[in-house]
A and B are shown apart, each in its own frame.
Chain A
């Protein structure tokens, strides 16, 4: 048990879910640069004494609350729905089941619906498979994967991050926090020659570069505060909100005291893929005015329709 209320998070990684850096890194120079960035992250993980790799994957949607992968040894061969022609992704991952169960308990203590999943053949998503294969290829470090609830909004996602933080503190584990998500997520809707891959539009590219500027300055909380703008501007409206920065900030610490490093930024079939690290530091840059509640316990979304009605 850690004596501090601060979890020991060595660094955070933000990386894309697409399989090209794993399956076809040489099809495009950009894919190769993304692969090199993953390799650099893997090296840094190997150089540190990491107890757990904690993954929040935006390509694992859940409905019944928040799902946490807890099968000790997850073995399967995964194939992506779109990019099946690039090949199969056999995997064998070791999960930190103790962490998973405590994480579930801590979610419940904070008012969240949560459950562990421990089933042979459970379909681990493309994003988590790519991240864990590239960041932890020898399974030297146990992992935990957390789903992204499709209905969850800010309050719920922030509290989910805090539950992860509680668990890290409680178990005294040194963690690397991994968020699997694109920046802009609009892909080309036709098949392309990978050599000709590029960001789908100038607007997406402009926004991506602005986000990368924030990441580079270590302004994680500022990005968290900008999430709704990011969602409206460069995210295909598949889910209710752009959540990864909320979860990442709530887990790592809701401030801007990080050293950010953008290791690569490239197009992945039109979407914005970046490999970024955030390392906790004492330097804070450019705090914005934060105007949304910092929620500690989830009590459901505020139901504005119930308020102010005539009796």
Chain B
């Protein structure tokens, strides 16, 4: 059996606004559009992924928050309605997805072997979080690949951002080992924003783009610093600066997704492809992809 490999790593923010703006048939809410910079970026990245041969998407989400270890989806199918608890007016999405349980269990076993506290989630009534649904829908609207969702163990809050770097990196290494042993070709997804301070009021028409801007300039400057380092292939430096970035911008990197993904990819020193940056209700969001293939890696934006 050939060695498995990570064929791409995507930083894929999950504001439900983006699905709402797309008006897919699965979502009950209707919009007049909005947030095109991100949506068009997502569409371009989705087209790239269509041209990559892969078996499964493994996604790390901060909206499945676990305090007792890291949990993995452990049933082959989930079908239900995902209603965003914060933006239920925008996101009521009927999903029907498949899970690569074999890969999920392999990653759980590898993590457990490394001393990481883990748990398989095998309750059929479990509702898959909206971060998973949003990022996966935007990257693969056809839902024709199985996924594995990994929960966010809340190390930043329980300990510190530095502990999160250590723990999520270790989890990334374990997942990479399991992927290699599986023989599968896998797309990794870190589902989150960068700076993450929200406005606490919403425009009467949520997609009114005349109202959309970053929460404050400090958040913007920090986001740009991180994106610049991504462009320069300085992923190790991104992680080194992450504790400060997380604290200064209340960043959603606190969930550990990007650390996990870059750790699994061995902290790549090649440039990230940047597909778009835009604010959503004040938060900073970048769509980025790390393509380890020198021949297909692009300079997108």
Q: Interface on A for B, CB 8 Å cutoff?
A: 60-65, 77-79, 81-82, 84-85, 87-88, 113, 117, 119-123, 125, 149, 151, 186-191, 236-238, 269
Contact = CB atoms under 8 A, between A and B. Distances in A.
Nearest to A300: B200
B88 A119 contact: yes
Contacts of B85: 60-62, 122-123, 125
A202 B123 CA distance: 34
Given A88-B125, A123-B83, A64 B69 contact: no
Interface in B73-117: 81, 83, 85-89, 92, 117
B201 A191 contact: no
22 contacts: A63-B281, A64-B86, A64-B87, A79-B125, A81-B71, A81-B151, A82-B71, A84-B123, A85-B121, A88-B123, A88-B125, A113-B201, A119-B83, A125-B85, A149-B200, A189-B117, A189-B153, A190-B117, A191-B117, A236-B158, A238-B154, A238-B157
A267 to B, nearest CB: 14
A108 to B, nearest CB: 12
B123 A237 contact: no
Interface stretch (B59-67, B138-146, B173-181): B59-67
B78 to A, nearest CB: 11
Contacts of A78: 125, 127
A63 B89 CA distance: 13
A274 to B, nearest CB: 19
A236 B157 contact: yes
B119 interface: yes
A79 B126 contact: yes
A128 to B, nearest CB: 11
B200 A189 contact: no
A278 to B, nearest CB: 29
A63 B127 contact: no
B198 interface: yes
B67 A189 contact: yes
B92 A64 contact: no
Contacts of B125: 77-79, 88
B68 interface: yes
A79 B123 contact: yes
B232 interface: no
B119 A123 contact: no
B281 to A, nearest CB: 8
A186 B119 CA distance: 19
Return the 7 tightest CB-CB contacts between A and B, nearest first: A88-B125, A84-B123, A121-B81, A79-B126, A77-B125, A119-B88, A121-B83
A243 B246 CA distance: 24
Interface residues of chain B: helix, strand, loop or mixed (majority): loop
A58 to B, nearest CB: 14
B68 A122 contact: no
B88 A81 contact: no
Interface residues of B, number: 33
Most chain-B Cβ atoms within 10 A of its Cβ — which of A82, A87, A236? A82
Contacts of A82: 66-68, 71
Contacts of B157: 236-238
A78 B125 CA distance: 7
B68 A189 contact: yes
Interface in B127-151: 127, 151
A294 B202 CA distance: 27
A147 to B, nearest CB: 8
A63 B86 contact: yes
Contact of B88 (A77, A85, A122, A238): A122
Contact of A79 (B65, B92, B127): B127
B67 A62 contact: no
Contacts of B67: 82, 187, 189
A61 B125 CA distance: 22
Given A81-B64, A84-B122, 4 more contacts: A64-B201, A81-B65, A122-B88, A238-B157
A153 B301 CA distance: 40
Contact of B200 (A79, A113, A122): A113
Contacts of B87: 64
A187 B68 CA distance: 8
A34 to B, nearest CB: 19
Nearest to A123: B85
A196 to B, nearest CB: 14
Contacts of B281: 63
B249 to A, nearest CB: 14
A65 B200 contact: yes
Contacts of A269: 68
Contacts of A81: 64-66, 71, 151
A77 B200 CA distance: 29
Contacts of B71: 81-82, 84
A51 B65 CA distance: 35
Nearest to B158: A236
A87 B86 contact: no
A183 B71 CA distance: 26
A119 B127 CA distance: 16
A78 B67 CA distance: 18
Contacts of A237: 157
B1 to A, nearest CB: 33
Contacts of B89: 117, 119
A63 B126 contact: no
A190 B201 contact: no
Most chain B CB within 10 A, of A78, A121, A187, A237, is at A121
Contacts of B68: 82, 187-191, 269
